[in-house]
Amino acid sequence: MKTAVRGIVGAPVDRIEGREKVTGQARYAFEHLPDDVAYAWAVLSPVARGEIRAIDASAALADPEVVAVISVENSPTLVRVDDGELALFQDRTIHYRGQIVAAAVANSLEAAREGAARVRIDADAQPHDVELTPGHPKLYAPEVVNAGFPPDSVIGDVDAALARSETVVDVTYRTPAEHNNPMEPHATLAIWEPDGSLTLHDSNQGAVVARDTIAQLLGLDPARVRVLSPHVGGGFGSKARPRPSAVLAALAAQITGRPVKLAVTRQQMFAFTGYRTPTLQRLRLGADADGRLTAISQEVSEQTSTVREFVEQTATPARVMYAAHNRRTTHRVAALDVPTPSIMRAPGEAPGMYALESAIDELASATGLDPIALRARNEPQLDPERGVPFSSRNLLACLREGAARFGWDRREPAPGTRRDGRWLLGTGVAASTYPVYRYPAQATARLRPDGGLVVSIAAADIGTGARTVLTQLAADALDVQIGRVTVELGDSALPRAFMAGASMGTASWGSAVVRACEALRARIAEHGDAPLEADLEAHADTTEEIARLENLSRHAFGAQFAEVRVDPDTGEIRVPRMLGVFAAGRIINAKTARSQMVGGMTMGLSMALMEESVMDREFGDYLNHDLAQYHVAANADVRDIEAIFLDEEDPHLNPIGSKGIGELGIVGTAAAIGNAVYHATGVRIRELPLRLDRVLAVLPRAVR
């Protein structure tokens, strides 16, 4: 093989599949069109809790275009799995409003929708409990929280330390339920093959995870289920696990004997495709006369459903961020009559760091210290709870670089003192962090007789640029031009890989790809210059490599800066300028990495100012279940956003030296904006989003 021009890794390479996407050649799950396809439409429960007495499908089946109505009356029996939401039609219990209780299958999408509307559900409604409140009687301590963390951690005596602290901050922050709204709604095309195997074209974040779960539910060998998802239009965590819609499509195809398509509507996505749990977070910080933390306590309450327990790891960032001898974090959860919350971009870190970084800002104000100086004063030398070294930790470098670029030295320390006409002006800062995860993965690299190089791995590209980054890594490891490499992904039949989530895709998949390419390169060298009569192939599995990792604390860090303008007459908040500075190991693609960070920061802006799923207590459902009422940031809201990466080398991570970036950008953004609003107005709002009415409710009349 000829030596290629180096510098592929790190370069701002355009997306490999970009032309396919903009010309419409890239096919998404719902766009495949097999012969004799039918369409399914879900019927949702009309009550939040109850029992189904009867289901009348006669009016629907009277339409000759409707080929079947599926419900508890005629559904096949499913194998029990750990996710009760997937157990469609297995009993008559209604666990939450919006639960799938039936479905119509028809020759056209319109007929399926009309048929579903004609299905009558006779349900015995029971009293429901859908609101997370302080001290809720159903709160309990879970055995574990998301990502396998223990729910509680205690070091020292927090209460005694707080009692003797020079300065104490004792505040409660609230965050609302938020719903993932990827551009492509959840969709599935299910095809039962003549040999009894199942093929699913499905919008998901991990074909292998989807395959294994669906196979278990249907009692099939995983080898008889194939999941294809080469192009996915976003997920934000909502597609990390199979959803009831995928199960419904498989059942409908099984019952009718035809390929069946099912697309979840935007409104239905607020019912059964996951969301971020609301949180109540009490923060207590104690500091001595020099502003050094003596105690950190973060106590979190959140909700789950009655069919599956999911508990966000909201307080875990407090376990690594700042030094203090006395520490306590707790998680309590209430099982309510609501859909199951699930992963949403930076689950735990996003709401947890919003509360922690806001409380740190309050402590800076109470002690009279600059917010950056306070953070620097409490920088730990070791992981504060595990007592092990950090593989690398460049938070202070991010804060200093950001301060210089943002013009922090020109900031007036006193809040509520800057104006531009009627607008109140303020700036804020917050830290970001996200753990470095890495899962085992397998990959195969092949050299074809025509000279082409193919890398295969069951990874997922959900719009993040994974296909491009893996191509860069493969080309670099093989020392060839990027155009010679083709990456195959999004297929459960390819070498096993975990889902796209927890910012671990590049580290996990990329490591396997690099090892496979290194092995192939060695085989090519052994083969010499003789012509190939068949593919030359090499395989890699990183399981043992991960098992040998050192006991270190691995995290990415960053600093978020925000400038806000607040209209004291209307409560309107504008964010003309945001800056994020991040230390995230080796950056594989400068263009897609920046895109990830800008996207995360934009989502953080939405979290701060707009996103809020409003629960109707009487009906037990979210009121604003569409994009007309559930607001997210648009172009006019995103003015000047910049993301900067510091050079960071960390040899203790993986063969490519990368840290995850998908979630890091959102973490800290909402706190930076909230802190800037305090700096602009002199009043603190401790509940997200920072709505106009909440701003006006606390602004002094003298300011207005």
- Enzyme catalytic residues: 663
Q: Enumerate residues 6+ apart whose C-beta is below 8 A from 655.
A: 510, 511, 514, 515, 545
User: From CA 684, how far away is CA 678, in angstroms rounded?
Assistant: 5
Distances in whole angstroms, Cα of residue 283 to Cα of each of 266, 357, 483 = 36, 10, 52
Question: What are all long-range contacts of 624-629, with beta carbons under 8 Å and residues at least 24 apart?
Answer: 625/179, 625/266, 625/267, 625/269, 625/270, 625/271, 626/266, 626/267, 626/270, 627/181, 627/266
Q: How far apart are the first and last CA of the chain?
A: 71
Query: Residue 553: exposed, middle, or buried by beta-carbon count in 10 A (0-12, 13-18, 19+)?
Result: buried
User: From CA 369, how far away is CA 448, in angstroms rounded?
Assistant: 63
Length in residues, the chain: 704
The DSSP bridge partners found for residue 104 are 41, 69
The DSSP bridge partners found for residue 120 are 56
User: From CA 63, how far away is CA 81, in angstroms rounded?
Assistant: 35
User: From CA 101, how far away is CA 98, in angstroms rounded?
Assistant: 9
Query: SS3 string of 318-329?
Result: HHCCCCCCEEEE
Q: Maximum CA pair distance of the chain?
A: 85
User: From CA 503, how far away is CA 511, in angstroms rounded?
Assistant: 14
Closest CA to 214 of 251, 182, 263: 251
